[in-house]
Structure 1
Amino acid sequence: MTSTAASRPGAEHNGFTGRYLLLLVALIWPAQLLSVTGLLAGNAQSQIAVHFHTTQIAWFVLVSSLIGAFLTPFVMRAADLFGKRRVMIVLTVLGVIGDLVSALAPNFAVLLLGRGVAGFYAPIAALVFAIARDVFPPRLVGPASGLIGGGVGLVALFGPFLSGWLLDGHGWRSAMWFLAAASAASLVLLMTVVPESPVRQERTPMDWAGGLLLGGGVSAIVYGVGRGSDWGWSSAGFLASVIGGAVAIIAFVVVEGRVAHPLYELSMLSRRRVWSVFLATALLAGTVLSAGTISQLLGLMPKIPAVSDGLGFSATKLAWIGAPASVVIILTAVATGWLARRVDSRYLLATAALFAAVGYGLTAHFHHTVPQLMTVGIVSAIGLGMIVALVPVMVIEVVSPAEQARANGLQNMLQGTLLTVVTQLFFVMMARDGRVVQGTQFYLDAGFTNAFRLAAGFAVAGLLAVALVPKLKRLEEAETGEAAR
């Protein structure tokens, strides 16, 4: 590893000075823009499905994840070679282009094309957490990482009201225009506020074969699961995609062991503390971040006897219902960031998994009235707030500064893959008890109930995965900030 020796103004301060506060905002913005995109896309799904008369609305969200999964290996390697900030700027430019195509889309196919191009932006969250470790002083790395992850609470609080204003007053295209403007603002912040990371890897050839095998294998699995309900779970197409993807990933492992300059140092994954943390955090984060899809469809789909058991809320009303839970997410994330320096992160993650499992289990049975939704939503919100704050902290605890970008990329890829697969399984579960009328998919109450039960099951699986994590290096013992140089 090589690094520059340029100093950073204000590094001698222990707290968040004005410069570091501005830097924090500049990094929270691109990281949580993905959450805003997910929220707006999720709330817009019902309008778009009806507008374009499609039963394939799940791909409106999933296509971005598919593209992001394929690109992540190349993006992480490029960041190591050419600089994290520089790569983040390129990704953001492509994100703006994709958002503009989506806003202007004349049909569903072009809309999916736009969301696919916007998928280039998907790996940026991994880079945000990686660059935070490099550009903040050691004392601020933990709190900054927790606040960047916990920013999802701000999105959860204010995002639904923004969504309500846009969708209720101006329609789904206004949400796409907002994303284009927000992406452009992110580009300005990156170019004017965020410094380049001093951490670099030696310039070596790109491992194109490894990247194609890994990205292609993951994408094939995601695509196969996405089409499984249409093809049939025992169909030749589904089996070919999933088995072919698995073979490609196995081939990637073989290739990486033989090339002179591998895309990923797989020896990193041979360490139990690394693979166990990746598995537990990806499974739990993928679950809690995808479960919102169920709540969005439940609240926003219309109430039509024998056809649709949605609650028929406006996006604004749904925002008010979710506001208490959003406040809890923010408070929990901040508290977790503070506790992570004092309490074993494994215990915190296990507690988060338990809250998520209980919350979704309760929601499966109590989701028919506003008081029920507000009450049970707080339980799962505690789990969500803790999980999003812990993910970046635990990755820092198990890898070195030189491994940070690639580690974030691998964890982000695994998390994104699981999020996509879990989301698609939620759609499958809801559609089993649904109805298709005039080309539009509607859902009945049994489908929502079973989907929430499935979410609870995945949270329990995450809890079991936490048991595999060995004792970790404490956050204050990890090399961060100035120590990473």
Structure 2
Amino acid sequence: MSQTQTTPPDTSERSRSTPHNVLIVVALLWAVQLVSLVAALSGVTQAAVAIHFQTTQIAWFTLMTLLSGTFFLPFVVKGAALFGKKRALVVATALGLVGDLVAAVATDYRTLLIGRGIAGIYVAATPICYAITRDVFPRRWVGLANGVMAGGVGLVAFGGPFLSGWLLDNHGFRGVLWFMAISTAVSLLLVTFLVPESPVRERGGRMDWAGGILLGGGVTLIVYAVGEGADWGWGSGRFIGFVVGAVVALIAFLLVERRVAEPLFPLAMTRRRTVWTALLATSVAAGSLSAVGVVIQLLVLMPKIPHVSDGLGWSGTHNAIVTSPISVMIIVGAVGTGMLARRRDSRLLLAVGAALAVLGYGIGTQYHHTAAQIISWGVVAGLGTGIVVAVVPIMIIEVVSPEEQALANGAQNLAQGVAQIVVSQVAYVVMAQHGMVLKGTQFYLDKGFTNGMWLVVGCCALGGLCVALVPKAERLQDAEVGQAA
């Protein structure tokens, strides 16, 4: 794959003032963390949505966004490489706004899911923003910008529950949905007027439509099958048919990618051991931690109903107060990792982060019945989570060239999204095995919450162990950066 800079070198990147760079970081931070914020708001809102629409399919309220985002991610990332990263980011944000508006005005659950599906296109903002940082900032700003953007997860985790709790307690789930739309509109304005276009483009490339449809279709089939497997029966012909269809689609994708001149994700890049092992370790670890909210939010926000539901029945505001120390530790872990990455092996950082998360959530499988218990193990899990989310983009920078950055980030986000969707969907299935349907709504017993947390712990531990497969790569301070180098 040939790459070129389609615009001549611009010395303004080097001479750009610090306040200007800060404004760009703020715009990118908003764009990246809006993805996390929407996920946090969705998690807090899902219990109210399930009860209002009287559905046992509440899993799709959050998974629809992830699923559509995973399907469209390869196309958006490839478009960023061909036509410009800022341009692709603006388009994805605009479509996300359309989806948010559809969801906000929906009067039935199906329309709500359609809106959430359209909004899922905005998921592509994360890899594009991280790729932009490498292209438009001087070398000394790259690690800091990535650390700040990743550390924003903690800000979202800290402020998101307070915000969503206030919205939910005072304006209901509709207030939360409208806030999503307003936040996306703000992101669109910030990106349009503050973020410069990346000069790094792919020369003479074309969109690989066949590869994208096969990849997205294969992932969609397997995720949908996992979500419906409990109802269909794990050994039913329908479930097996979907799984076989997914495998066939993914095999066909690999064959197509070997033949096309401009593949969606260059197999030569993903075959390199430094790349595929980094993708594997980061995707499994981070994807598993992203899925933990499925269990925790339902645990604390579902009502307490004897013999029906063992939720803690907290209000949104009470949930925010209890989890605020955890959010602070996420910020500490993420920002600290951004500072340490220039001097420490990123593989060690990922392993330490995963180990702390496993320790924290492992304790949480047994002690999750009071606020004091959740805070005690949550601060440990929060520190580990912050380290993991911050080191992921740094590890990708260390193993690919500037020209490969957007596609590599896209591949990582795609793999992480698949891991998050599968783990989340399986968590719903596991929890439902110890639960009850009452008035059309699925409730969960304590055994279900415990098993759901054990699932997340096991998957995160697997991601941490995968670090052993990753060979030593050049550190962030030695990695080549883009136009602004």
Counterpart residue type for residue 2 of structure 1: T
CA offset digits 1:428-471 (Å, max 9, x no partner): 11110001001000000001111111111111111211111111
Alpha-carbon separation, structure 1, partners of 2:239 and 2:35: 29
* Residue 81 (str. 1) matches residue 82 (str. 2): yes
Alpha-carbon separation, structure 1, partners of 2:126 and 2:329: 23
CA positional deviation for 1:260: 2.1
Counterpart residue type for residue 443 of structure 1: Y
- Structure 2 counterpart of 1:100: 101
Alpha carbons 2:223, 2:425 under 8 Å: kept: no
Alpha-carbon separation, structure 2, partners of 1:413 and 1:210: 14
Alpha-carbon separation, structure 2, partners of 1:116 and 1:459: 27
- Structure 1 counterpart of 2:4: 2
- Structure 1 counterpart of 2:285: 284
Alpha-carbon separation, structure 2, partners of 1:368 and 1:8: 58
- Structure 2 counterpart of 1:63: 64
- Structure 2 counterpart of 1:118: 119
- Structure 2 counterpart of 1:330: 331
Aligned identity (percent) is 54
Alpha-carbon separation, structure 2, partners of 1:17 and 1:10: 11
CA positional deviation for 1:382: 1.0
Alpha-carbon separation, structure 2, partners of 1:259 and 1:186: 35
Counterpart residue type for residue 108 of structure 2: N
Alpha-carbon separation, structure 2, partners of 1:173 and 1:44: 9
* Residue 452 (str. 1) matches residue 456 (str. 2): no
CA positional deviation for 1:203: 2.5
Alpha-carbon separation, structure 2, partners of 1:246 and 1:133: 35
Aligned with 1:257: secondary structure?
Answer: helix
CA positional deviation for 1:356: 0.9
Alpha-carbon separation, structure 1, partners of 2:385 and 2:402: 27
- Structure 2 counterpart of 1:431: 432
CA positional deviation for 1:6: 4.2
Alpha-carbon separation, structure 1, partners of 2:428 and 2:154: 25
- Structure 2 counterpart of 1:476: 477
- Of 471-480 and 201-210, the range deviating more from structure 2: 201-210
Runs of 4+ in 1 over 3 A off after TM superposition: 481-484
* Residue 209 (str. 1) matches residue 197 (str. 2): no
CA positional deviation for 1:10: 5.5
CA positional deviation for 1:261: 2.1
CA offset digits 1:87-137 (Å, max 9, x no partner): 111111111111111110010011001101111111111111111111111
Alpha carbons 1:145, 1:393 under 8 Å: kept: yes
Alpha carbons 2:13, 2:484 under 8 Å: kept: no
CA positional deviation for 1:249: 1.2
CA offset digits 1:136-194 (Å, max 9, x no partner): 11111111112111110000011100011100111001111000000000000011000
Aligned with 1:343: secondary structure?
Answer: coil
CA positional deviation for 1:78: 0.8
- Structure 2 counterpart of 1:252: 253
Alpha carbons 2:82, 2:206 under 8 Å: kept: no
Aligned with 1:37: secondary structure?
Answer: helix
Give the number of aligned pairs: 482
- Structure 2 counterpart of 1:386: 387
Alpha-carbon separation, structure 1, partners of 2:470 and 2:236: 37
CA offset digits 1:307-362 (Å, max 9, x no partner): 00000100000000000011111111111111111111111111111111111110
Change (3 A) 1:112 1:8: farther
Alpha carbons 1:138, 1:482 under 8 Å: kept: no
Counterpart residue type for residue 218 of structure 1: V
Counterpart residue type for residue 11 of structure 1: R
CA positional deviation for 1:68: 1.0
For normalisation by structure 1, the TM-score amounts to 0.97
Aligned with 1:171: secondary structure?
Answer: helix
* Residue 127 (str. 1) matches residue 137 (str. 2): no
Please show how residues 159-178 of structure 1 align to structure 2 within 5 Å.
159-178=160-179
Please show how residues 402-417 of structure 1 align to structure 2 within 5 Å.
402-417=403-418
Aligned with 2:205: secondary structure?
Answer: coil
Alpha carbons 1:141, 1:481 under 8 Å: kept: no
- Structure 2 counterpart of 1:299: 300
Alpha-carbon separation, structure 2, partners of 1:447 and 1:314: 21
Aligned with 1:391: secondary structure?
Answer: helix
Alpha carbons 2:9, 2:483 under 8 Å: kept: no
Alpha-carbon separation, structure 2, partners of 1:145 and 1:303: 41
Alpha carbons 2:200, 2:483 under 8 Å: kept: no
Aligned with 1:436: secondary structure?
Answer: strand
Alpha carbons 2:34, 2:183 under 8 Å: kept: yes
Alpha carbons 1:356, 1:382 under 8 Å: kept: yes
Aligned with 1:200: secondary structure?
Answer: strand
Alpha-carbon separation, structure 2, partners of 1:200 and 1:228: 42
Alpha-carbon separation, structure 1, partners of 2:153 and 2:261: 40
* Residue 190 (str. 1) matches residue 197 (str. 2): no
Alpha carbons 1:10, 1:19 under 8 Å: kept: no
Alpha carbons 2:227, 2:429 under 8 Å: kept: no
- Structure 2 counterpart of 1:21: 22
* Residue 50 (str. 1) matches residue 51 (str. 2): yes
Alpha-carbon separation, structure 2, partners of 1:360 and 1:119: 28
Q: Which runs of 5+ in 1 are unaligned?
A: none
- Of 28-37 and 240-249, the range deviating more from structure 2: 240-249
Out of 8, 11, 28, the residue aligned to residue 14 of structure 2 is: 11
Alpha carbons 1:345, 1:394 under 8 Å: kept: yes
Alpha carbons 1:27, 1:128 under 8 Å: kept: yes
Aligned with 1:365: secondary structure?
Answer: coil
Counterpart residue type for residue 363 of structure 2: L
Alpha-carbon separation, structure 2, partners of 1:8 and 1:182: 33
Alpha carbons 1:221, 1:241 under 8 Å: kept: yes
Alpha-carbon separation, structure 2, partners of 1:471 and 1:6: 32
Counterpart residue type for residue 386 of structure 1: I
Counterpart residue type for residue 8 of structure 2: A
CA positional deviation for 1:12: 4.1
Alpha-carbon separation, structure 2, partners of 1:232 and 1:132: 46
Change (3 A) 1:362 1:8: farther
For normalisation by structure 2, the TM-score amounts to 0.97
